[in-house]
Structures are given as structure tokens and as C-alpha cells.
Structure 1
Amino acid sequence: MSESLAKKIVLTGGGSAGHVTPNIALIPALKKAGFDIYYIGSYSGIEKKLIEDYNIPYFGIATGKLRRYFDPKNFSDPFRVLKGFTEALTLLKKIKPDIVFSKGGFVSVPVVRAAGVLHIPYIVHESDMTPGLANKLSMTGARKICCNFPETMSLLPADKAVLTGTPIRDELGMGSREAGKKLCGFTDDKPVLMVIGGSLGAQSVNETVRFALPRLLPNFNVVHICGKEKMDNLKLSVPGYKQFEYVKNELKDIFAMADIVVSRAGANSICELLALRKPNILIPLSTKSSRGDQMLNARSFEKQGFSLVIDNDELDEDILVETIEDLYENREQFIENMHRSSLHSATDTIVDIIVEEMNK
């Protein structure tokens, strides 16, 4: 395909890994569909680091957070947003994309607003059940708004909302159970419990799991991805218990090995569990430390029969062990429910939407 005929797409989104990894999952399918791909993020946010492995032109713009509460930065950040808008305008005029796809985060707002001014069609993806502020500011001119949860559809314009699910990296489903067991040093045939608390870890979950180990290890091997600087050095040599601060390339093997999973309830994490059909217990962040989106996400998955849920404020050793035993005993029912979900082809669905809207 000659450069003049190539389709061009700009991906945007950042501020956290959750606003980037779905874009990364789309990259192979977009390339296969014949797109030249460009990325606009912040100057030095996590998105820049995550995208650099994919040989995609990356452009940074100024960004500021739009807050609903008082903060001294509320006086300076609007000027950063305005600068980011001007920079996005310049970049989009230079790139001349056929379409823009936004995964959200505040860096995406100047990009989609600039696309609107230049009459470039754009699509927005909302991961959580209730739209965040950045996406609310981006939705007005969007051609389509993709979402993960049936409940979200009623909160979006009916002519724009599409229930797609979240794109999941293909490689997550290509792991080896034997490679995972070798990585963790598990040599018996006990089922494997995987515990994952997000990139920063989850201290309350970490502590409760460790308190419960004497009751868990007779029946399970436990692999615990506990977060940066959250390792317990006193338990490094406990048989059947393997800790990691963070896992990248080996994550697919750990997923392949896991029979059941305990996790926080970030939207991308739980969509990965759904795509991989992993019976799970969700322990969402409470409203004390979040806007409450994880609690809503978790309850939706519970209602659909994909997950069991433990409220973080009620978490203790007894509840955790009893719920793990309940989940494992009934795991086949959860797997069957997840197999019935229609949200397993999010990548193909979203690429089809992109192509369709671009060609209108």
C-alpha cells in the first residue's frame, strides 16, 4: 500500500496503564487492517513508556487534570490544557489522520477536541460502568462511544453507544501452564490460586492473603503478584507460595496456570479475566480511595455470574478463605457463564466500528 493511500489513525489515552493497554491490544489488528498508526499522549506519562516497544510514532502534548475539587493546580492546569489543544491541532494538521480513537484520560481531551475542530471523526472508549470526567468532556462530538457494561448503555446517547467490551492483548491467551509452574517452582498437582492487586499492589489484600496462607496452602499453590516494594521477605521460601512485585512477559503463563483468581476490580483487569474465562473473586477499591467505579464494575460482573465479590471494608481471613473455597467448588458454573458472554471479540468489533465510521 502506498503512503498516499494508507489509512491513518491516531490513538490517544494516558495517565494510567488502563488508558493505554486497550490501545496496545488494538495495534496488531489495526496494522492488519492496513492502518498507519500514530500515538498522541503526554510528554512523559506512562503511555510514552508503554508505547515505545511498538515502533509507533509517538507525540507528546501538554496536559492538565480537570478536577471537581479545590487544588492550587486548578489555576494553572487550564493553561496547560489550552496549550495541549494547540499542540494537538498542529499535530493533527500534520498527520492528517482519517480517524482518532480515544481510550480516555485527561491527555485525550485536547486531542479529541482538536479532532472535532478539524472535522476528523473520533471514537471514544469508556472502560468503567459510569463515564469519567475526561470522557464526559470528549463524548459530545464522538461518532461512537464503546463501553464494557450493559448498565453503561443507559448513561450514553442511544445513537452512539455500542457494547463492545475491552480489547485484550492476544498474547495473554497464549501462555503455558507448565511454563507457569516451572516459573513458580510448583511441582505438585494442587490447583493454583492467583492473587493480583494491580501495578501498585493492594496492601489490604496482600496482608489478608498472607495471614490466610496456613489455611490455603494445604489445598492450593498460591502465586501472588503483590506490587512494587510489597514483597514479604519472610515468606520467600514458603513452599507453594511464590511472590512477584510485577510480571510482564510471563503474565500469560501465570494466567494459563491459574485455576482461580483474586483481583482488584479495575475495568481492564476484569475484562482480561472474562476473556480468559478465569473464575474470580473481586475485591474492589472502596469509595474512600476511589470514585467508586471498581465497586460498580465488580457488582456488574457479580450480577452477570462472572465473579464473586468481597467488599474491601469487610475483608478478613475467614471471609477470604471461605469465598475462595466456594469459588473453586463452583468454578465450572462461572466458566460456563463467561463462555456465554458476547464480549469476547472486542478487538474485532472495535476495528470494524473504526473502519465503518471512517468510511462514512
Structure 2
Amino acid sequence: MNIIVSGGGTGGHIYPAITLIRTLRKKVPDARFLYVGTKRGLESDIVPKEGLPFETIDLQGFERHFTVDNFRRAAKAMLGVAKARHVVKHFHPDAAIGTGGYVCGPILLAASLAGVPTLIQEQNVVPGITNKILSHFVTRIAAGTEDAVQHFPKEKTVFTGNPIRREVLTAQKEDGLREYGFSADKPVVLVSGGSRGARSLNCAMVGVLKEAQKHPEVQFLHATGKGEYDAQMQRLADAGVDLASAPHIQVKPYLYNMPQAMAMADLAIFRAGATGLAELTARGIPAILVPYPYAAENHQEHNARACETAGAARMILDRELTSERLGSVLMELFSEPGKLQAMAAASKAMGRPEAADTIADMVIDMQKK
């Protein structure tokens, strides 16, 4: 069985694709995979490290307003379609999967027009334009959220949830506590703005951590993002935060073992990317969500609102984020333990830990038919 997988640009598109590949390999051990991405996206670094054959298509997304540069990008898109047809013709796929990003467009379209069974996996509440277009050509659609189903043809769409790494489900709380030297009898707040960090969130955390150093009954693990770490350490020093005397507060540039960190978290302060939310809900972790305001189609705000409506999270818009606002919400949640417990239950109810298996079975089934 030959399977083309395409997803690019951000980790939110790439990691679900890799999770699906790993799941399919367990179900179909002799399956051959080809990953198609771009040279510019994170996939060019991540995918080869997985030992996967990797092909690139030279594409760039279009500007959302008229620019002369869009003509150059249109020419690249035409060449990209030609390259996609070449890839499909020579790999002879039995199925093709797209997990998001504009690179999926040409390869899934070429596969579909060649009669290859195709599936797109939409992570967000509001689909991007590429998946909206592809929905009219592909065989099946796996929707990561219930709210996304309404945006696609009903007869080919299934609500599956978003695929998450198996390590997220298997990580043990004790391992996380041991790694970071935290106490088992005090709650842990996990803070992350993503691998690159979120400056607005980091700035808001300065005031929160300044207050938190006086109250060791709550522990904080804050990942600033590599590019923001030095600046954040300077902000904390300028504010008088002495981390050396506050072992219940740890500030790291990056968390290389996020599953362990999640395993010990009683509350998360996160952006609202679909993959991060899928992992939080799979473990039933309540959250304070600060959606990235410049995400395509404003999808992070829609993701966050869905979690808030379900009772699994509280949302603070980026433009409204301050140390005072964030600290107030934290104080409210920790002053009434019942609230956190109810949010955790709602988060767990939203989780779909079996999503990767469900989608993999869909791919196998459509290929047989």
C-alpha cells in the first residue's frame, strides 16, 4: 500500500500527519509513505528526521489582498500543480492524506483527479481556504471538531477529533514532577505560547510570576519560546523576580518533553492551536486560552470559543491580555477548586484520544473500496 501524506508550514499540520503515519504503519506494516511539503516550512526539518521519503513543491500562500507579488505566487502555483501530477504519477499512491497548509492543495487535487482515494484532516473549528476547496474533490473528510462538520459536504464528513501523539496519553505525572523537581501536593500551572513563544503572553506572565513568588502553594512551569527567552529573563529581573529563591517557578526556553509537562499540569495557559487543544483535552486539562490574533480565518479565536462554550476553558483575547487580567482569572479558578474540577471534566469530555486510529481506519477502508 503506497500512501502520500502532505501537510506543511506549521507544526499543527505536520505533527498530526506524522502521528497518522505512525498509526498506519502499525495497522499496515508493509505500507510505503511519501511525504510532500515545501522547502520553507518546518516540515523540511522535521520530516527527514523521521526517516520518511520527502518531496518538495515550491509554493507560497497568496496575500489576502491584491499585490503584484501574487502574480509570481500564481505562477509558482501552476508549476506546483505540474510537480504534484508528476509525483502522483511516479509514486502510484493507493491513498493520499492532507493535514493542512497550502501545499496540500496541488497534491490532493492531483491525486483526486487521478482517481486516487483521498482524505483531508481539518484540525480547526473554521476550515482554511485550501481545505474548503479540496472538500469538493476528496473522498473523505475527517473533522477535528464537531463545529467544523457544518462547513463540509455532509455525506463525506466524519467528526473524528484531531490525531495526537501517543506519548501524550502514556506520559505519567510522576515523571514530570520528578523532571522539574515539583511537589506532588501542590497544583502545577503549565504556560506555553508555542515553540516560538508569544511575546504578549510572556509580558503578561511577568506580573503573574512576580506575585507568584510570594505564594509557593501554586507551581509554575513557563516555556517562553527560544527566541523570547533572553528577553523574558531580563523582564523578570527588571521586575524583581528572583527565580533562584523561588523553586516553585521554573522558566524554560523550550520544553523538549511536552507530554511529561502536560501529564503533571492541573491548568494550562496556552494559545489556541488545534493540536495543542487536542492534546489538552485528551488529558482533560482545563485551560486559559489566549488565541493568536493573526491566525488565518481567525481560527484560533473560534477554537478557543468552542472550548469556552463547552466549559473546558476561559478565553482572554490577546488585545485584552494584561498581568492583572490573567492574574485575576488565575485567582478566581484556584480560589474555587470546584471550578477547575468542572473544567477538567468538560475538557476530558471534548477529548478524542482515539482520533488517530479512527482516521487511519478511514484511510484503509476507503482504499479497499
Give the TM-score, by structure 2 length.
Answer: 0.90
* Matched residue type, 1:145: I
Please name the residue that 2:314 is paired with.
308
From 346, 349, 357, the counterpart of 2:358? 349
Kindly state the Cα deviation for residue 130 of structure 1 after the two structures are TM-superposed: 1.3
Q: Which residue of 2 aligns with 1:283?
A: 290
State the distance in 1 between where 2:21 and 2:212 align: 40
8 Å Cα contact 1:192/1:258 also seen in 2: yes
Aligned pairs, number:
352
Aligned position for 1:192? 188
Superposition deviation, residue 109 in structure 1: 0.8
CA 33–188 in structure 1, closer or farther in 2 if over 3 Å, else same: closer
Mapped to 2, the partners of 1:207 and 1:183 lie a distance apart of 26
Query: How many angstroms does 1:101 deviate by?
Result: 0.4
Equivalent runs, 1:264-343 vs 2, <5 Å: 264-286=271-293, 291-328=297-334, 329=337, 330-341=339-350, 343=352
Q: Spell out, residue by residue over 1:127-160, the C-alpha distance to the aligned partner (whole angstroms, 9 max, x if none).
A: 1111111212222211111112222222211112
Which structure dedicates a bigger proportion of its chain to helix? 2
Relative to structure 1, is the Cα distance of residues 340 and 178 closer, same or farther in structure 2, using a 3 angstrom cutoff? Answer: closer
The farther-off stretch of 333-342 and 37-46 is 333-342
Question: 1: CA distance between counterparts of 2:358 and 2:330?
Answer: 34
1:29 is aligned to: 23
Letter in 2 for 1:8: N
- Asked if the contact 1:226/1:246 (under 8 Å) is kept, the reply is yes
CA–CA separation in structure 2 for the residues paired with 1:124 and 1:146: 6
Cα deviation 1:108-143 (Å, max 9, x = unaligned): 111011112211111111111111112122222111
Deviation per residue, 1:22-74 (Å, 9 max, x gap): 01111221001212222111134211211122221111122121333123320
Counterpart of 1:246? 254
Moved more, 337-346 or 75-84: 337-346
Deviation at 1:264, TM superposition (A): 0.6
Contiguous gaps of at least 5 residues in structure 2: none
CA distance in 2, matches of 1:108, 1:290: 16
| Distance in 2 of aligned mates of 1:41 and 1:317 | 39
108, 122, 129: which is aligned to 2:125? Answer: 129
Q: Secondary structure of the residue that 1:172 maps to in structure 2?
A: helix
Tell me the equivalent position of 1:53: 49
Q: 2:111 maps to which residue?
A: 115
Contact persistence 1:280–1:327 (CA under 8 A): no
With 312-321 and 223-232 compared, the bigger mean Cα shift is at 312-321
Structure 2 residue 212 is the aligned partner of structure 1 residue 205: no
Q: Helix, strand or coil for the counterpart of 1:71?
A: coil
Q: How many angstroms apart in 2 are the aligned matches of 1:143 and 1:175?
A: 35
Matches within 5 A, 1:57-206: 57-186=53-182, 189-206=185-202
5 Å-filtered alignment, 1:8-19, equals 8-19=2-13
1:187 Cα deviation (Å)? Answer: 5.1
Distance 2:120 2:245 in 1: 46
1-structure distance, mates of 2:20, 2:3 = 11
Displacement after TM superposition at 1:316 (Å): 2.1
Quick one: which amino acid aligns to residue 346 of structure 2? N
The CA deviation string for residues 60-109 of structure 1, in whole angstroms up to 9 with x for no partner, is 12212133312332011112111121111111111111110001111111
- Give the whole-Å Cα distance in 2 for the aligned partners of 1:258 and 1:271: 15
Write the distance in 1 (CA, Å) between the matches of 2:103 and 2:350. 32
2:269 counterpart of 1:262: yes
The structure 1 segments of at least 4 consecutive aligned residues displaced by more than 4 Å after TM superposition are: none
- Measured against aligned partners, the alpha-carbon deviations of 1:180-219 in whole angstroms (never above 9, x if no partner) come to 2343343574211100101221111111111111333413
TM-score of the superposition, structure 1-length normalised?
0.92
Cα pair 2:283 2:348 within 8 Å, conserved? no
Secondary structure at the aligned position of 1:142 is classed as: coil
| Structure 1 unaligned residues grouped into runs of 5+ | 1-6
CA contact 1:99–1:122 (8 Å) conserved in 2: yes
Query: Which residue of structure 1 lines up, in the alignment, with residue 227 of structure 2?
Result: 229
Partners of 1:281 and 1:327 within 8 A in 2: no
